[in-house]
Amino acid sequence: MTDFLEQPLALIAAAIQEGQITSTSLVTACLKRIEQVNPQLNAVVSIAPEQALKHAAKADADLAAGKSNGPLHGIPMTIKDSLDTFDMVTTWGTSGRQQFRPGKDASCVARLRAAGAILVGKTNTPEFTLSFQTDNLLFGKTNNPFDPTRTSGGSSGGAAALIASGAVPFDIGTDTGGSIRLPAHFCGICGIKPTSGRVPCTGNALPSFGLIAPLTQPGPLARYVADLEMLLPIIAGPDYIDPHCVNASWHDSKQVDLSQLRIGYHSDNGLSSPETAIVASITKVVELLGEAGLQISQGTPSGLQMASLIMSRLMAADDQDLIITLLDESRTHAPSEKIKKSLERGKAGMTAVEFAHTINVWHSYQSSMLSYFNDYDLLICPVNAHTAIPHGEEENMLDYSYTMAYNLTGWPGVVIRAGTDESGLPIGIQILAAPFREDHCLALAGFLEAKLGAFSQPAVRYRKTPDA
């Protein structure tokens, strides 16, 4: 039964609908696999086996009565602990919410349940999602499934580690500076940051209002590119609460003719030079696309080198008011070291003119970057300058400019695995497209996924659980 957990979502859904498996047996297998791998990963921070099995039994009864609850009928899922769940504690990784039950689902979670998915547990996140390493004072650090001495990334590191272990088919993460794409890269799975405004942020730790709200997007992490495309339309669209979410049209990647698209790439963004193995993975992908007869040439968006500076100015522009408010509303009196350091940096002391200038520079950057699409339809580049780093290693924020740059623009970005470094750690590549053209990203990602084939998997994934 565990093998079904490692299949594409469409196949799992069809197996349930056709009676090859039951939701009860699938959820049981998922719970057993979590029990087996979580001591090594520390990815799942809360779990509700009785509740999940009760919902699975109802899903089976509904199907027997001829009622299907949606495209995800009876399929187990986990959800990042920054997203509210009405029936499970949602801590946001902060001590003041250790026993907090929101009473209402985040909008994207409610939509997944309405599509038939069954929540089995919550996955670890750093406090308020504000770190590129998943670690907090409540639950500790989440380990990388390829090497437990290394981080799984952040802030959706619990989700990525669990999916890579084969314990759950999908999870929903959030991405403010790379928090879906970085863990996907570090853990060797797929993830998508949708276009800003595609998915409502209602019910996430970082609010859907305020200066930096447009930087954040929820999005799915999964094992296959097709899974991302199946999940994203389910959670997309206005909830009439998030003021930034729009009713944008959805395009099917199956209708995309890659031969008509102009693909650009770069292996170095001019801010931080990637490791040799990462450059080699980009080169391999470029060669594959060239051999397939696709239009590909080297190209870097104009203004990219400003990304890190703009992000640092934006994150400081509110004089730490966002963090102070989150701590107060959560009733957290002992924040994590990451949060303490942010507070210790103190107030930026921007004048009104300096603040206005920061916003103008941000908007000018967005405009300059958009000019890239006069010459290209897609961009391939690294996700980060490094593969998974050791726990607690101090980050060079320039290494993370490869993802932060596209939170600033709002462009959609897909990460897929494209290689392995000399230490056996996975290497992801990032595929970006114009706003609301997720179909372009997904079409190219699916093409490359098929061309690149299978990669080595973490040992934890192959410690099989007995069939349910």
What pLDDT, on the 0 to 100 scale, is given for residue 465?
41
Mean predicted confidence (pLDDT) in 337-364: 91
Single-letter residue type at 446:
G
pLDDT reading at 157 higher than 90: yes
- pLDDT at 419 > cutoff 80: yes
Quick: pLDDT tens for 308-333: 999 999 999 999 999 999 999 999 99
Which among 185, 155, 156 has a CA at the least distance from the CA of 170?
156
Asked whether 388 and 152 are in contact (CB, 8 A), the reply is: yes
What is the 3 state secondary structure string of 300-369? CCCCHHHHHHHHHHHHHCCCCHHHHHHHHHHCCCCCCHHHHHHHHCCCCCCCHHHHHHHHHHHHHHHHHH
Q: 368 catalytic, yes or no?
A: no
Q: What is the pLDDT of residues 128-150, one digit of tens each?
A: 999 999 999 999 999 999 999 99
DSSP letter string over 155-204? SSHHHHHHHHTTS-SEEEEEESSSTTHHHHHHHT-EEEEPPTTSS--TTB
pLDDT reported for residue 347: 75
Q: Is 237 within 8 Å of 194 (Cβ atoms)?
A: no
Tell me, letter by letter, the H, E, C secondary structure of 199-237. Answer: CCCCCECCCCCCCCHHHCEEEEEECCHHHHHHHHHHHCC
Tell me the mean pLDDT in the region 93-105.
97
Q: Annotated catalytic, 284?
A: no
Provide the pLDDT for residue 467: 39
Span 228-257, mean pLDDT?
A: 98
pLDDT of 462 > 90? The answer is no
% residues pLDDT > 90 (the chain): 96
Confidence of residue 239 (pLDDT cuts 50, 70, 90): very high
3-state secondary structure of 424: coil
Share of the chain above pLDDT 70, in %: 98
Of the residues 131, 179, 330, 342, only one is catalytic, namely 179
Distance, C-alpha 438 to centroid of its chain: 14
Per annotation, catalytic residue among 131, 155, 253, 401 = 155
388-409, pLDDT tens digit by residue? 999 999 999 999 999 999 999 9
Of 32, 80, 122, 193, which is the active-site residue? 80
**What's the whole-number mean pLDDT along residues 69-89?**
98
Q: What is the mean pLDDT of the chain?
A: 96
- Classified as helix, coil or strand, 291 is helix
pLDDT band of residue 164 (cuts 50, 70, 90) is: very high
Class of domain 2-462: alpha beta
| Residue 179 reports pLDDT greater than 50 | yes
Identify the H or E element spanning 450. helix 438-452
pLDDT surpassing 90 at residue 468: no
Cβ pair 113, 119 in contact under 8 A: yes
Partners of residue 427 on adjacent β-strands = 419
155 an active-site residue? yes
